Amino acid sequence: MLDIIAGLSSPTEGEVEIDDKIVDGPGLDRGIVFQQYALLPWRNALKNVTFPLESFKEKDEREEIAKQYLSLVGLSGFEERYPHELSGGMKQRVAIARALAIDPEILLMDEPFAAVDAQTRSILQEDLLKITENSNKTAVFITHSIEEAIFLADKVAIVTARPGTIKEVVNIPFSRQHRFTTDFKNTSDFARLRHKIWELLKEEVVKSQEIAERKIEFDEKIDKGGGI
């Protein structure tokens, strides 16, 4: 689904529209943050962020933009550092700055915090809330974490096991300010939402496991030359 929104894959049926325009390929109105950092190892942080700007911005302007967004994600002073000199969380901040640098309307994020430790993940979640609030961006965020979904989202869409469809959309009725000013993740409201989403998701998790088990059995029979 994320690839289709990004214009990297074509739907078998139906269409995606952004501002009444059909998506028929990649565009600068959508920025992508991948699960892995996807940074160019031979470029420093500044040059990684300027990379998508090189086709339509002059050097001075793109470096100014890159510095602005590196500052936004808390990396002022690290412009000259190369990816191997940065921690996992810092690398992902560079990737977020790069996606923001083209000033997209929508951020497409594919489990972007999955590869970092729990403490860094928590900090990055808070950073993302602040960034989307301050820059007025829409984010489509893929995650397997119910807690992460509740903390970050205005709406959580639960996707079914194969074939993947939207089972239900759950509204998260709390302001971003409320999530910062209270110990939100330890409140009874948070616990109720987590339970509701888990009840919707649990059936799909069981179905996924059953599908995986049937596939393993099928493969074993094929390997043994048995009949199906």
- The per-residue pLDDT for 63 is 94
In the chain, where the domains are located? 2-224
Whole-angstrom distance, CA of residue 66 vs CA of residue 60: 10
* Burial readout 174-192 (b: 16 or more C-beta within 10 A, e: otherwise): beeeebeeeeeeeeeebee
Nearest to 105 by CA among 70, 67, 136, 61: 136
- The per-residue pLDDT for 227 is 53
CATH 3.40.50.1820 fits 2-224, yes or no: no
pLDDT by residue for the chain (228 residues), tens only, comes to: 899 999 999 999 899 999 899 999 999 899 999 888 889 999 999 999 999 999 888 989 999 999 999 998 889 999 999 999 999 889 989 999 999 899 899 999 999 888 788 888 888 888 888 888 887 889 999 999 999 999 999 999 999 887 888 999 999 998 888 888 778 888 899 999 999 999 999 888 888 777 777 777 777 777 776 555
3-state secondary structure 107-157: EEEECCCCCCCHHHHHHHHHHHHHHHHHHCCEEEEECCCHHHHHHHCCEEE
- The per-residue pLDDT for 65 is 94
Instruction: Tell me the two tokens of residue 27.
Output: 């565009």
Burial class of residue 66 in the structure, from the number of CB atoms within 10 Å of its CB (0-12 exposed, 13-18 middle, 19+ buried): buried
Backbone angles phi, psi at 197, to 5 degrees: -70, -40
Residue 36 Cα to chain centre, angstroms:
11
| pTM for the full predicted model | 0.81
Beta bridge partners of 166: 159
| pLDDT per residue as tens digits for the range 170-192 | 999 988 888 887 788 888 999 99
